[in-house]
Amino acid sequence: MENRTFFKLKINIDDLDESFPNQQKSAKIYQTELVIDKNNNNEIQFKIFFDDKEYLGEKIMKWNHNKDLNLLDKFQVIEIIKPKTLLEINFLDYKCKGMENSTSFYEFNLKYFTIKLTGIKKTYQNSEKSPSEFYLNQQAFGLIEMNYQYNYNFPWSNEEYKWKPENKVKNHIKFGDISFKPEHNFFNSTKNHLEKISIQKEPRLTIKYNDLTESEIKNHIELICALYSFYSLENIEYSLSRIYTKDQLHIEIKDVSNNNVNDFHGLFRWDFFQNPMNLIRNIDSYHLLENLTFFKKIIERFNYSLKTSGESKFMILYNILEQVRNQYILEKKIETEKASETPNLKKVTEEYSFNLSKTQTDKFIKKTLENITKIISDEDKELFQSEIKYKLTPIKVVSMINQFQSLFDYIDIDPKMFDLNFLELKTLRDSIFHGRPISENREHLNKINLYKCLPRFVGTVILKYSGVNDLKQITRMEDE
């Protein structure tokens, strides 16, 4: 009982009793226990205790089934009962992922039902000054394991056997406003310690810093995870965090995907000398922290694109180029004259300059297009005539190829170096976008989608946005 966590939960659902009108009315406020099952991947549950005459479990399950809402938005923690050091329980943006309501669920002479959560954050009063910790998912295991070397030689004499893992990353590494160290947490996972000892390893990051807020610390770690994800082409994230800030300890637990990964090196393996730390050490951390939401989004889309094929792969990669260009405009790096002081992307859709007024220009273009009708076959003349009004704007707009040129000039990159012709990319993009069959271009599309072509080109654009301007000038960890 001493280690259990109890609090009072208010359920803010006005129509909760409507599905069972003949039963006892809901009390609205209930004693609840937070249970974190360490033996089951830190599964998070609420045990909500209630008078069984209320049928509370049935009411909530029925309400949740009929509503397209996040149930946790209706829950409010109004008082912590125990432990006394616990200051706050926060649901953040997490959701309910399941419920159980068994007739055998009784404790304290009350019935209870359980709600499973995708995550939770707890804040404790705490004066301890320890390094913060972030435990990573299984996809990160190989990225951390590569830092270790072990002595497996068992002595034949009476010498004492010593097994000590050696982390080649000796010191915490400066990154933005923190210092971090990629390492394993080693622990004995054997239940019967008398018979044998089984050492288990968990990948984690330990963090040192001065006077940062919880959100600032989390942003740094989310950026590191995004960089690990980009390097490995796998989704790297943390499942458990312990963050110390002033007199508080913030513990966050969340569901994450855990998959065994055999090849944890991605598209730029050799450029970074088979070490993700050579990527992390060379990016502009402050620039990416300022634009973290955008950077995380394009990394997620880039990794997703490489797990697809055909038109989907091509269109996602092309769209990333569009997003990066727009981001450079919003950051006032390119197209500053057209975008104005407060960047407006709509203003960058360039039109040619005409000697006539807008009205006169439209009339001239319309008349010219009407003249073209003379050479259109009889069966298509009427259709062409009806679509003339839709062709006025496209004719006045500078091609997308020229619109991208300012981006390519600014970051100093040439599609030809990746065996790409951007005019062909734009033509293929328009063909796919407008739903035209590309059976005749299938072989060409497959060539463009080869890793060395469009994926590597887009990946290099992302690297340049990250501050890695020249892959041939990478600073290696062992060089420092």
pLDDT of amino acid 365: 77
pLDDT band at 1 (very low <50, low <70, confident <90, very high): very low
Range 2-31 average pLDDT? 90
Range 324-333 average pLDDT? 91
DSSP state of 159: P
pLDDT of amino acid 104: 82
**pLDDT at residue 295 greater than cutoff 60:** yes
* Percent share of the chain, pLDDT over 90: 61
What is the rounded distance in angstroms from the CA atom of residue 9 to the CA atom of residue 49? 10
pLDDT band at 308 (very low <50, low <70, confident <90, very high): very high
What is the rounded distance in angstroms from the CA atom of residue 228 to the CA atom of residue 182? 11
Range 341-349 average pLDDT? 68
**pLDDT at residue 397 greater than cutoff 70:** no
Higher pLDDT among residues 128 and 119, named by residue: 119
Higher pLDDT among residues 392 and 106, named by residue: 106
Token pair belonging to 78: 């109004």
473: phi > 0 → left, psi -120 to 50 → alpha, else beta; which? alpha
**pLDDT at residue 384 greater than cutoff 50:** yes
pLDDT of amino acid 403: 67
**pLDDT at residue 262 greater than cutoff 80:** yes
207 strand-pairing partners: 132, 180
Range 297-320 average pLDDT? 96
Least confident of 150-154, 302-306, 376-380: 150-154
Higher pLDDT among residues 154 and 50, named by residue: 50
pLDDT band at 113 (very low <50, low <70, confident <90, very high): very high
Which amino acid, 198? S
43 strand-pairing partners: 37
pLDDT of amino acid 382: 82
pLDDT of amino acid 95: 95
pLDDT of amino acid 350: 58
**pLDDT at residue 159 greater than cutoff 60:** yes
What is the rounded distance in angstroms from the CA atom of residue 235 to the CA atom of residue 255? 13
Residue with structure tokens 């055909």? Answer: 310
Range 20-24 average pLDDT? 88
pLDDT band at 161 (very low <50, low <70, confident <90, very high): low
**pLDDT at residue 400 greater than cutoff 60:** no
432-438: which pairs have CB atoms within 8 A and are 24 or more residues apart? 432/311, 432/314, 432/315, 433/315, 438/311
What is the rounded distance in angstroms from the CA atom of residue 230 to the CA atom of residue 199? 30
Residue with structure tokens 């360039």? Answer: 350
pTM attached to this predicted model = 0.86
pLDDT band at 154 (very low <50, low <70, confident <90, very high): low
Short-list 304, 150, 162, CA closest to 233: 304
**pLDDT at residue 458 greater than cutoff 60:** yes
pLDDT of amino acid 408: 95
**pLDDT at residue 423 greater than cutoff 90:** no
Higher pLDDT among residues 80 and 428, named by residue: 80
**pLDDT at residue 273 greater than cutoff 50:** yes
* Percent share of the chain, pLDDT over 70: 91
**Are the C-beta atoms of 155 and 161 separated by less than 8 Å?**
yes
**Are the C-beta atoms of 285 and 175 separated by less than 8 Å?**
yes
Least confident of 44-48, 210-214, 228-232, 349-353: 349-353
Mean pLDDT rounded to a whole number for the chain: 88
Distances (CA, A) of 330 to 12, 290, 342: 41, 13, 8
H/E stretch holding 248: strand 248-254
Range 430-444 average pLDDT? 81
H/E stretch holding 188: strand 178-188
Q: Which residue ranges make up each domain of the chain?
A: 5-119, 132-281, 328-471
Task: Tell whether omega for the bond before 276 is within 30 degrees of 0, i.e. cis.
Answer: no
Range 148-163 average pLDDT? 72
**pLDDT at residue 194 greater than cutoff 50:** yes
